[in-house]
Chain A
């Protein structure tokens, strides 16, 4: 794990971190309306660190606090992390268990995607993932706390296409991960079909699990490279 990798990861996540901060300020405004203070919000940022699930938590925030229902909703929304961190096994190869348990907390959708794409292009270590995670967590904390204190930086993020920043960044990084139609054609088709269907039928972000699993299972059924014809 290198300091250079950390800085590269931090820098590579800056463009999307701007959108993260803008959405953070919106969450801060909503949280303040529910009577949450900046310390409550900051604690939630540091401990949960999962944007869309925090929006749902603040939305459900009433007195008395529906703790169990909130935890269940958060689980449904964050279920995708099981698959996302599962793909990080090569990055954590040879790390001690305590290192795994520490660094895995810094995995968000965006820095995961950025690091996976950078890895495919040759160089990204665990420091890259961590630097990106610190960048996003910092932007998220700054945005939410600023939102509690000063109101939203951008009152209507959708009007500025900020919601699409995430979709666009994932699109660009997917292009970097493309391994050619022979290996990725069918798996990606299966993933898109299952995700779009799942988005209509399943709660939370289970559609990401549906798509990811459909793609992975399809890839498992394809013949191995260089072993044409054999079905596994």
Chain B
């Protein structure tokens, strides 16, 4: 049902992706556990998240930045990720519909 060429191509892409996933986890196990490396590893999750957010917020223009600010504020106020997410999306939808 699935052709050989298709299977080979999917397998190649899967192997690359899996190697990246497993590579990060296994390599991190070999890093030192103290000092500057510990501080770097503890800061890394937050740094990755803001790196995912900032460019896409910037690309959505003023509405994107406003939506991110509202989402962050609502998260602090309500501690409800779903409410914060929905409000941010609403700002973007309204801006895209009526912002021209």
Residues of B in contact with A (beta carbons under 8 Å apart): 1-2, 5-18, 20-29, 31, 35-37, 39-58, 60, 64, 67-68, 71-72, 74-76, 81-82, 84-85, 88-90, 92-93, 96-97
Contacts and interface: CB of A to CB of B under 8 A. Distances in A.
A231 to B, nearest CB: 9
Contact of B16 (A64, A78, A177, A184): A78
B17 A84 contact: no
Nearest to B13: A74
Interface stretch (A1-9, A97-105, A134-142): A97-105
Q: Is the interface of A mostly helix, strand, loop or mixed?
A: helix
Interface of B is mostly: helix
A71 B13 contact: yes
A99 B6 CA distance: 29
B71 A168 contact: yes
For the side of the interface on A, what is the size category? 35 or more
Contacts of A196: 54-55, 58
Interface of A: 12, 15-16, 36-37, 39-40, 43-44, 47-50, 53, 57, 64-65, 67-68, 70-71, 74-75, 78-89, 92, 100-101, 104-105, 107, 109, 113, 116-117, 158-179, 183-184, 187-188, 190-192, 194-196, 198-199, 207-208, 210-222, 224, 232
30 contacts: A40-B2, A40-B10, A53-B13, A65-B8, A70-B13, A71-B16, A79-B20, A82-B27, A86-B41, A88-B25, A100-B25, A100-B26, A104-B21, A158-B96, A160-B93, A167-B64, A168-B84, A175-B72, A175-B75, A175-B76, A177-B45, A178-B46, A184-B43, A187-B47, A191-B50, A194-B51, A208-B51, A215-B47, A219-B42, A221-B36
A184 B24 contact: no
Contacts of B55: 195-196, 198-199, 207
Contacts of A67: 5, 8-9, 12
A219 B38 CA distance: 9
Contacts of A175: 72, 75-76
B52 A81 contact: no
Nearest to A171: B71
Given A64-B5, A83-B48, A85-B24, A222 B39 contact: yes
A195 B54 contact: yes
B6 to A, nearest CB: 5
Contact of B89 (A49, A161, A195, A214): A161
A47 B75 contact: no
B52 A208 contact: yes
A43 B13 contact: no
Given A78-B20, A107-B21, A164-B89, A84 B13 contact: no
Contacts of A12: 81
Contacts of A187: 43, 46-47
